[in-house]
Structure 1
Amino acid sequence: MLRKSAAVLLGILVGVFAMQVRAEEPLRIVLGFPAGASSDTVTRLIADKMRDSLGRPVVVENKPGAGGIVANMAVKSAPPDGNTLLLTPLATMVAYPFSYSKLAYDPFKDYVPVAHIAAFQLALGVGPNVPAKTLAEYVALVKKGGEYANFASAAVGSLPHFFGILFARTAGVQMTHVPYKGTANVLQALLSGEVPAGIVPISDIGTLAQSGKARVLASSGATRSPQYPDVPTFKESGYDIEGAAWYALFAPAGTPSDVVDRLSAAAIKAIQDPDVRKKIEPLGLEATGLGPAELAAIMKADHDKWGPVIQASGFKAD
């Protein structure tokens, strides 16, 4: 009897210890892009706030590669236990299924929407050595050919890449895409003169423009960015195109709904924190904070909007 009681007590103690260890297991937020871009900034700000509200460690794990695909695959294969989240821009969930003929994940089947974090506009910017001060002047340079016809984006098959193709066709010019691994690398290439132009989130190039190290010629929104009111939209510049993107959190498929709801609430609370908003909105990011159902609806709408356009372009990343 004593042995049985001791065994029961030992089992209880082991269970309690296991629960404590599990409670202290960090929540990983996996990001498919390197440090230095707005995606990394917003991820780390959210992680800090979620750490407080959840009462557990929250770590950011940068897993750059293949334009974010490496991170998507890592989260797809992670246990659906609430310990792993993916923070990703629209591109990996909306554009890639159309721009890659062989994609090893399904955005709608392999992930669960958690929270829509922020929205942002894209922008066409040029480096300090490019003489164009307006979009019309830049198009005139592109028409001459040579190096001015090159433009960079953070990844092959991303929304900025596709937006560049769309702009070139609308402007009636030939442009060559130069892919980089992450927005931070695009900005470095612009500063060094390695490429003359790039299409990136306005939140990333805006800070360079404010310091005089680059110029933003046009933004992709339906209206001008509140943070950069002097930058005209593509439509205002005579090119009838627009497109906004977003950052959002996803969990592996199969994650229990109560766990998703808890993580969603913590993420929404984090992004709506006045301190976080104060830090990201000057960068050109609009803090949103929408739940799983709203994120799912936005994702479906963007899938239906961009899919036919990407397919019509004939572009394939592989």
Structure 2
Amino acid sequence: MITRRSMMAYTAAAAATVSVSGRAMAQIAAQPMRIVFPFTAGGSGDALARLLADQLRIGLDQPVIVDNRTGAAGRIGVQAVKTAAPDGKTLLLTPIAPVAVYQHVYSNLGYDPIKDLAPVSQVSTMDFALAVGTALPVKSVKELVAWCKANPAQANYGTPGAGTLPHFFMVLVGQAAGIELQHVGYKGSAGAITDLAGGQLPMVLSTTPDLMSLHKAGKIRVIATSGTARSPFLPDVPTFIESGYKIQGDTWYGMFAPAGTPAEMIKRFSDILVAALKTPELRDKLANLGLQPTGTSAEELRVILQRDSAAWAPAVAASGFKPEN
């Protein structure tokens, strides 16, 4: 029989349970959300991560931190997100390579970008740019191709490293132009660009943010960019397509969550990012980094990921690149 005393005890216990549960939920909500960026602090990608963290902090009304989880060319950071709980507390901001290209490069990647990650939004893009030294007597891609044919032993190009997208893109350039090019991989773009400006290297392929300031200062000469339209940061420079070569490609940053993250959370994150990337203030800040803001839905990023993964596979295969680990 349920007595008045037992009912009162039950009610008190239930109230206590609700109170504890409410406190626990509040504590979970107050826990900082993190954006894993799989490279070191200080570059344009890290700056982008911090700008987006601030927008999510405002939109979600909770702390958001950036976690620079570096190593293995970005793979360690992606793996950390793969194994994170799908509770909306972890996001990944990554450039294209770790999620759309590395599956064609590494035999033991440690994650499947399609199965292990949930797309949230593509947030920005940037073009590649081909630059030559000012001492080189060329001002266009066609003139560079002619120079390479006349000087095959000197037809060397620098990139930020072997197995990077600039390396693979220049494989496409060589194929389209019908020339043999020798790759010189550096540990980052800075060394390659320094040697280009100093006359030790005839050409470099890197991103537009890496090259545009020296081009505008007249210390190097950018002769082509890789987009379907001219870069807004280098409007005086034609694209490869305009130059007569049917090659195109770009690099981008995308936001992802661990697979299994609830769809309503994914949509909320995407909506906040898309709205923020339409504001003049944030667009101006990205422009200062040499980035072109986009802001897509989760489904649009899924399509981009699958499309670009298929598009880069032939260039990776043609490069013959084999990683050491």
Band of TM-score, shorter chain: 0.7 to 0.9
Q: Name the SS of the counterpart of 2:113 in structure 1.
A: coil
- Name the structure 2 match of 1:74: 80
Query: How much has 1:151 moved relative to structure 2?
Result: 0.8
Unaligned runs of 5+ in 2: 1-5
Query: 215-224 vs 138-147, which deviates more?
Result: 138-147
Q: Name the SS of the counterpart of 1:289 in structure 2.
A: coil
C-alpha contact 2:88 2:265 (8 A) present in aligned 1? yes
C-alpha contact 2:157 2:181 (8 A) present in aligned 1? no
Residues 1:251 and 1:221: Cα distance change in structure 2 (over 3 Å): same
For 1:70 and 1:76, how far apart are their aligned partners in 2?
A: 10
For 1:312 and 1:188, how far apart are their aligned partners in 2?
A: 25
Match of 2:250 among 224, 241, 244: 244
Query: How much has 1:68 moved relative to structure 2?
Result: 1.6
C-alpha contact 2:106 2:323 (8 A) present in aligned 1? yes
- Name the structure 1 match of 2:265: 259
C-alpha contact 1:75 1:84 (8 A) present in aligned 2? yes
- Name the structure 1 match of 2:3: none
For 1:170 and 1:80, how far apart are their aligned partners in 2?
A: 44
C-alpha contact 1:228 1:284 (8 A) present in aligned 2? no
Match of 2:312 among 306, 311, 316: 306
Match of 1:31 among 17, 30, 37: 37
For 2:133 and 2:27, how far apart are their aligned partners in 1?
A: 50
For 2:136 and 2:9, how far apart are their aligned partners in 1?
A: 82
Q: Amino acid of the residue matched to residue 99 of structure 1?
A: V
Q: Name the SS of the counterpart of 2:185 in structure 1.
A: strand
- Name the structure 2 match of 1:111: 117
Q: Amino acid of the residue matched to residue 61 of structure 2?
A: G
Q: Amino acid of the residue matched to residue 232 of structure 1?
A: P
C-alpha contact 2:169 2:315 (8 A) present in aligned 1? no
Match of 1:20 among 16, 26, 30: 26
Residues 1:131 and 1:64: Cα distance change in structure 2 (over 3 Å): farther
Query: 298-307 vs 140-149, which deviates more?
Result: 140-149
Superposition RMSD in Å:
3.0
Query: How much has 1:93 moved relative to structure 2?
Result: 1.6
The 5-angstrom pairing of residues 74-93 of structure 1 reads 74-93=80-99
TM-score, scaled to structure 1:
0.85
Residues 1:301 and 1:36: Cα distance change in structure 2 (over 3 Å): same
Match of 1:94 among 77, 94, 100: 100
Residues 1:14 and 1:307: Cα distance change in structure 2 (over 3 Å): same
Residues 1:188 and 1:15: Cα distance change in structure 2 (over 3 Å): farther
- Name the structure 2 match of 1:176: 183
Deviations 1:94-121 (CA, angstroms, capped at 9, x unpaired): 2111122221111100000111111221
Query: 185-194 vs 59-68, which deviates more?
Result: 185-194
Percent identical across equivalent pairs? 40
Residues 1:120 and 1:16: Cα distance change in structure 2 (over 3 Å): same
C-alpha contact 2:286 2:292 (8 A) present in aligned 1? yes
Match of 1:272 among 254, 257, 278: 278
For 1:142 and 1:32, how far apart are their aligned partners in 2?
A: 40
Query: How much has 1:65 moved relative to structure 2?
Result: 2.3
- The reply to whether residue 297 of structure 1 matches residue 303 of structure 2 is yes
Match of 1:285 among 291, 298, 312: 291
For 2:263 and 2:308, how far apart are their aligned partners in 1?
A: 24
Deviations 1:144-196 (CA, angstroms, capped at 9, x unpaired): 4678614122x54332221022223434123124142xxxx413552366973
For 1:274 and 1:51, how far apart are their aligned partners in 2?
A: 19
Query: How much has 1:250 moved relative to structure 2?
Result: 0.5
Residues 1:64 and 1:145: Cα distance change in structure 2 (over 3 Å): farther
- Name the structure 2 match of 1:187: 190
TM-score, scaled to structure 2:
0.83
- The reply to whether residue 207 of structure 1 matches residue 208 of structure 2 is no
Q: Amino acid of the residue matched to residue 311 of structure 1?
A: A
For 1:97 and 1:254, how far apart are their aligned partners in 2?
A: 21
